[in-house]
Amino acid sequence: MPVDSVLRALILGSIVLGTLVSLLVLLGAFIQFQRDRQNVHRIERFMAWETALPAYLFREPGALREFSAIPRRDLSIFQTFLARYQATLGGAEAAYLRDLYLSLGIHESLPKRLQHRSPATRAQAAKEVAVFQQDQYLQQVIPLLLDPVPYVSHMAALALSRSGDLQYARSVLIWVLQEELYQRERLLRVLEGFGPDLLPWLESCLDMPSHDPEAWILYALLAASHKDPRSERRLLQLLETPHVDLQAAALKALAVLADPLAYPKVLPFAHHAAWPIRALAAKALGLIGGPDAIPDLIDLTCDRIYEVRRNAAQGLADLGHSGYQALAWLAEDPTADRFARDIARERLEWAEERGHQ
């Protein structure tokens, strides 16, 4: 091949390559410019709506409420704008926000958005179903529990549980039990949405506690957060299951319910082999038994584990005057156990520093 032909081909190739690179750079710059423009527009819209929203929300009850017209192309931005307030504002303002949402017809696009390819859009749609109480779309939310994106499935579970409708409880429970255990608090928040009626439902459908302790731990935590006295009988049964975490959850719940009749069933756990259980029992006894628990709490101030002694001393202090008298007696008694005397003094000093006595 002649040299000048090779040279010409090289020059031509360089020109084509240069043109392509330049085009790519121009395209990138154009995309960036478009995104910046969208962001600026979004910020401008948010600022304008933020200014208009208080005037819409905080009128006298019964007064005519009007919000500036939202152009069709801005509806998706407005969905995000509105939904963020719904988590914060309750009462009448939440109802006014819902009215605004419905008046714009945004909910009509929910079926499409619940199946959108973008996870952010699916999650936003599930959130709107929950916060704006669009219960007619709940059936379409169920498949999202299997969504590969955890945020989307969490939003779907929240939407289903916030409806309070127990027909969705089984689907949500299956999802909950598949989730990681370390997320127990987060899962509990989801289940709380169903309200206290979920507790009897769980009792009727869960497997035996010895077969499925994790589910029953959630049951006990839920009973505590709802303070539901209907669950006490079952909680007392759970104490008999030889599973330390389950017993701990049941003790926490019984402490919250604080029924004095449960005291004799809780007392044996003050001598449990596992110290975390003894520590929880120490906490529960004072709450359940009131001043009658003082002798048992004094016994626990001699425990070899600090956490148990601390909870027992705290339990005494929480009883008020009679508890403080017991602590003062322990602190001054030269014949008292050294552990008991030290923890009583520590607790009294702590209270004195803060002026709690």
Q: What's the min distance (Å) between Cβ of 18 and another protein?
A: 46
Rule CB under 8 A: is residue 80 a binding residue for another protein? no
Q: Using CB atoms within 10 A of its CB, is residue 219 exposed (0-12), middle (13-18) or buried (19+)?
A: buried
In the complex, minimum distance from the CB of residue 233 to another protein, in angstroms, rounded to a whole number? 23
Name the helix (H) or strand (E) containing 236. helix 232-239
Task: Tell whether residue 94 is a contact of another protein (CB under 8 A).
Answer: yes
Specify whether the CB–CB gap between 50 and 80 falls below 8 A.
no
**Residue 111 phi, psi (nearest 5):** -55, -40
- Binding another protein (rule: CB under 8 A), the pick from 2, 62, 91, 148 is 91
Please select the residue that binds another protein; options are 67, 85, 137, 306, rule is CB under 8 A: 85
Dmax over Cα atoms in the chain, in whole Å? 112
- The count of residues interacting with another protein (CB under 8 A) is 18
Classified as helix, coil or strand, 196 is coil
Selected from 15, 34, 41, 58, the binder of another protein by CB under 8 A is 58
Told to check if 57 binds another protein by CB under 8 A, we report yes
CB burial of residue 232 (10 Å; 0-12, 13-18, 19+):
middle
Instruction: State yes or no: residue 53 binds another protein (CB under 8 A).
Output: yes
Minimum CB distance to another protein smaller for 60 or for 108: 60
- Which structure tokens are listed for 24? 């790519």
Q: Compare residues 22 and 51 and give the one whose CB is closer to another protein.
A: 51
Handedness of CA 202, 207, 209, 214 (dihedral sign): negative
CB nearer to another protein: pick between 94 and 298: 94
Q: Which is nearer to another protein, 248 or 256 (CB)?
A: 256
Residues 131, 87: contact at Cβ < 8 Å?
Answer: yes
Q: Which 217-246 positions form the footprint of another protein (CB under 8 A)? A: 225
Query: Which residues, 102 to 131, sit near another protein by CB under 8 A?
Result: none
Distance of closest approach, residue 224 Cβ to another protein, in angstroms:
9
Q: Are 221 and 253 a contacting pair, CB within 8 Å?
A: yes
**Closest to another protein by CB, 18 or 54:** 54
Nearer to another protein, 128 or 296 (CB): 128
- Asked if 20 interacts with another protein (CB under 8 A), we say no
Q: Sign of torsion, CA 228 232 233 234?
A: positive
Distance CA 38, CA 41 (A): 5
Measured distance CA(65)–CA(95) in Å, rounded: 12
Which one of 90-98, 117-125, 199-207, 329-337 is the stretch in contact with another protein (CB under 8 A)?
90-98
Among 86, 134, 231, 311, binds another protein (CB under 8 A): 86
- Pick the closer one to another protein by CB: 192 or 212: 192
Q: Pick from 158, 168, 217: which is nearest to 192 by CA?
A: 158
Residues that bind another protein (CB under 8 A): 50, 53-54, 57-58, 84-94, 225, 256
